[in-house]
Amino acid sequence: MQSALSQDVPAPARPLTRGDYKTLSLSALGGALEFYDFIIFVFFATVVGKLFFPPDMPEWLRQLQTFGIFAAGYLARPLGGIVLAHFGDMLGRKRMFTLSIFMMAVPTLVMGMLPTYAQIGIAAPLLLLLMRVVQGAAIGGEVPGAWVFVAEHVPSKHVGYACGTLTSGLTAGILLGSLMATLINTVFIAEEVAAYAWRIPFIAGGVFGLLSVYLRRWLEETPVFAELKQREALAEEIPLKTVVREHRAAVVVSMLLTWVLSAGIVVVILMTPTVLQTVYHFDAATALQANSLAIVLLSIGCTASGAIADRVGAGRTFVVGSLLLAVVSWLFYTRLHTHPELLFPLYAVTGLCVGVIGAVPYVMVKAFPAKVRFSGLSFSYNLSYAIFGGLTPMVVSLMLKADPLGPAYYVAALCGVGFLVGIYLLRREPGKA
């Protein structure tokens, strides 16, 4: 697997400029708002389930169908990502980068204004499902598109920092969702939340998303794509066909690293607050406060690991980072029973170490040549996330039934994957990874 980024259009060795920082800021802000729009549904799933399904439906079935609608967003990711990436490689990164956030903002705004089951019957959950599918298609194009966009704007020696910063913005979107949910449930009583207040996070997300669409108008097309277009060197066939035929090793590596990324987010960030309550018997408020702290440290870790990858290479970053995460996460899950007072420091350090995922896009954008980069990255990322992002909660839940340390075993196993990929990268490019 070769480093394709620097081979296409060599970037001059220059420091980051004010324009680079503007691009990074607007991209990270848009990514945070878009991820907030995608994730906010899960924080209000219980309320939405009661409002959008028949009142006489059994509770377990209502919850199953509600989370089925949430999962539909994940299932739509690969198709949306492939389609948006195809046109991103053929027509330009900026157009798809702007379209993806528009496709996220509008459904989020609509979800906040949808009539409930009591008002329009079965059409209510069907419209909700449709909005989630469009959101899934949007997020499938946004994340890979954002990584490609920032990577092709900055000098090659700052690609890791740029991608890590963008990933930090995405994780901040999860924190925004958590804080918004906490705010709504603090300010309003349960009856008010069910009556109207649940709509506020969706409407706010849609409005700010549309504002981000406007702000992205000020971004410029990436120099790499502009150069390809000027040289008439764009893909001559369907980009995905080239990816599957000529870049299989890059696809495999990218999918494995996406598995590591999805496991870090899903297990340590999204599932652990529930585990803290059910297995370790912390109250909900304490668990969520610790989770918020872990997300803040995760955002810092993403930026740091990307910058480290620029200096020492991705191979060394994943070898050392995976070992650190394995040790720290094991301490986190095994010591809390006997030392509950260590919850905040241990969760914070674990969140920081999960930040090794900030180096994942550094590898992925360098793995594919520019003419098929968007398609290659999007195909690998979305296919892997659809498989492992969906299977991970079920696998960890089954492991928890057998052993309370199920999450620790799963994270440790994925750290092994990250370590082996790091060794592979070191051997492919000795001294540079």
> What's the rounded Cα separation, in Å, for the pair 247 and 241?
10
Find all residues with CB under 8 Å of 294, minimum gap 6, and list them: 268, 269, 272, 347, 348, 350, 351, 354
Kindly write down the DSSP assignment for every residue of 162-224, as one continuous string: HHHHHHHHHHHHHHHHHHHHHHHHHHS-HHHIIIIITHHHHHHHHHHHHHHHHHHTT----HH
Task: Report, in angstroms and rounded to the nearest whole number, the Rg of the chain calculated over CA atoms.
Answer: 21
Distance in angstroms (rounded) separating the CA atoms of residues 39 and 37 = 6
Whether domain 18-428 has CATH 1.20.1250.20: yes
- State the CB neighbour count (10 A cutoff) for residue 21: 13
Please tell me what DSSP assigns to residue 10: P
Query: Which residues have C-beta within 8 Å of that of residue 384, sequence separation ≥ 6?
Result: 254, 255, 256, 258, 259, 262
Contact (Cβ atoms closer than 8 angstroms) between residue 366 and residue 3: yes
The per-residue pLDDT for 383 is 87
Of 96, 145, 144, the closest CA to residue 382 belongs to: 144
Calpha distance 73→139 (Å, rounded): 9
Q: How far apart are CA 95 and CA 268, in angstroms?
A: 34
Residue 65 sits at the vertex; the CA angle it makes with 112 and 125, to the nearest 5 degrees, is 40
| Tens digits of residue pLDDT in 199-215 | 999 999 999 888 888 87
pLDDT score, position 10: 43
pLDDT of residue 145: 82
CA geometry: angle 245, 250, 251, nearest 5 deg: 70
10 Å CB burial of residue 217 (0-12, 13-18, 19+) is exposed
- Say what the pLDDT of residue 11 is: 47
Closest by Cα among 361, 106, 382 to 257? 361
Helix pair angle (159-187, 199-216), 10° resolution: 150
**Span 9-67, pLDDT tens digits:** 444 566 777 777 877 887 788 788 878 887 888 778 778 888 888 877 777 677 677 76
List C-alpha distances in Å: 421 to 22, 65, 147, 255, 396.
33, 37, 20, 11, 22
Q: pLDDT in tens for each of the 433 residues of the chain?
A: 545 544 444 445 667 777 778 778 877 887 888 788 878 887 787 788 888 888 777 776 776 777 677 677 777 878 888 888 777 777 766 777 778 888 888 999 999 999 998 899 889 889 988 998 888 888 887 788 888 888 888 888 889 999 999 999 888 888 898 889 888 988 999 899 989 999 999 999 999 888 888 877 777 766 666 666 655 545 556 777 888 888 899 999 999 999 999 889 889 988 888 888 888 888 878 888 899 999 999 999 999 999 999 999 999 999 999 999 999 999 999 999 899 999 999 999 999 999 999 999 999 999 998 888 888 898 899 888 888 876 787 788 888 888 889 899 999 999 999 999 999 999 886 554 4
